[in-house]
Amino acid sequence: MAEQFAVYTHPHKGQRRRLSMLSTKAGTLDYADTAALDEFHDELSAMMTNLRLHVAHEEATIHPMLAGCIPGGAERLEEEHRTGKHLVENLSAHLEGIQAKSPESTKRGALGLEFYLALNRFIAFYLDHINEEEEHAQAALWRYYTNDELGDAWATIQTSQSPEESIDNFEMILPALNIDDSPLCLLLLATRRLRCSRRSARLQSASSVLRCGQLSNRELGRVSAIQSGLEVA
């Protein structure tokens, strides 16, 4: 059976991993430790930026395809996006409220626990949302669009990303993949693109992506095979 083009799977795998790491960190954080709290705030902000951009790409590219084959086919997902954005704004505002309190404030710990609980309510909501996309929206896309059309949509999303956004996505996605995930080749393309853009700092970052991917010998073999194929092409 021919492999069907899955537009959601890989970014969602990366987001699941990143959100689970944030949840663990929020549960173990000392909210009285200002430096640790500031660092966590930066990580949360980076994840929330990723989510906002991800949702914007879905709405610009995938949702018109869904609405084009099913009347109102994207309405539920867009309603969930609006709810998700609201929950994210609440989380950011609450965390910034904790940062504004004196490190000696006895309220920091209690407010931190409320943040942790609310973050996990958001994660539960978001995991349900992306499951809806993978279980139902993806199935509808497969029914009404060819692999080439889905590949074009995916390419549109990739080419509309800034270099910073692409790197953030690769660093998020790669450690969440296994050997059966094809975007290993995308990493190579990205590395090549970065090399061409002469961004040495970014190239270093791409190398760290490879390291954090912790590829096994079998996986590295597949990377080499893909790379050879690209070079032949």
The phi-psi region of residue 214 (left if phi > 0; otherwise alpha if psi is between -120 and 50; otherwise beta) is left
Between 80 and 171, CB nearer to Fe ion? 80
- Residue 207 and residue 230 in contact, taking contact as beta carbons nearer than 8 Å: no
Cβ within 8 Å of residue 197, ≥6 positions away? 163
Q: Scanning residues 118 to 137, which ones bind Fe ion (CB under 5 A)? A: none
To the nearest whole angstrom, how small is the minimum distance from the Cβ of residue 158 to Fe ion? 17
Shortest gap between Cβ of 57 and Fe ion (angstroms)?
A: 9
When the beta carbons of 74 and 177 are compared against Fe ion, the nearer one is: 74
Task: Indicate the residue among 40 and 122 with the shorter CB distance to Fe ion.
Answer: 122
CB of 138 to Fe ion, least distance (A): 11
Judged by CB under 5 A, the chain residues 43 through 102 that form the site for Fe ion are 58
Binding mask 27-46 toward Fe ion (x if CB under 5 A, else -) reads --------------------
CA nearest 137: which of 125, 129, 149? Answer: 129
- Closest approach, Cβ 80 to Fe ion, in A, equals 7
Alpha helices in the chain (DSSP H): 9-28, 34-57, 63-69, 75-100, 107-132, 138-144, 147-159, 163-173, 184-196, 200-213, 217-232
Closest distance of CB 24 from Fe ion, Å: 23
Q: Which is nearer to Fe ion, 58 or 171 (CB)?
A: 58
Q: Considering beta carbons, is residue 131 or 216 the nearer one to Fe ion?
A: 131
User: Which residue, among 60, 55, 73, 80, has the nearest Cα to 138 in the 3D structure?
Assistant: 73
Q: How far apart are CA 228 and CA 222, in angstroms?
A: 10
Q: Name the residues that contact Fe ion, by CB under 5 A.
A: 58
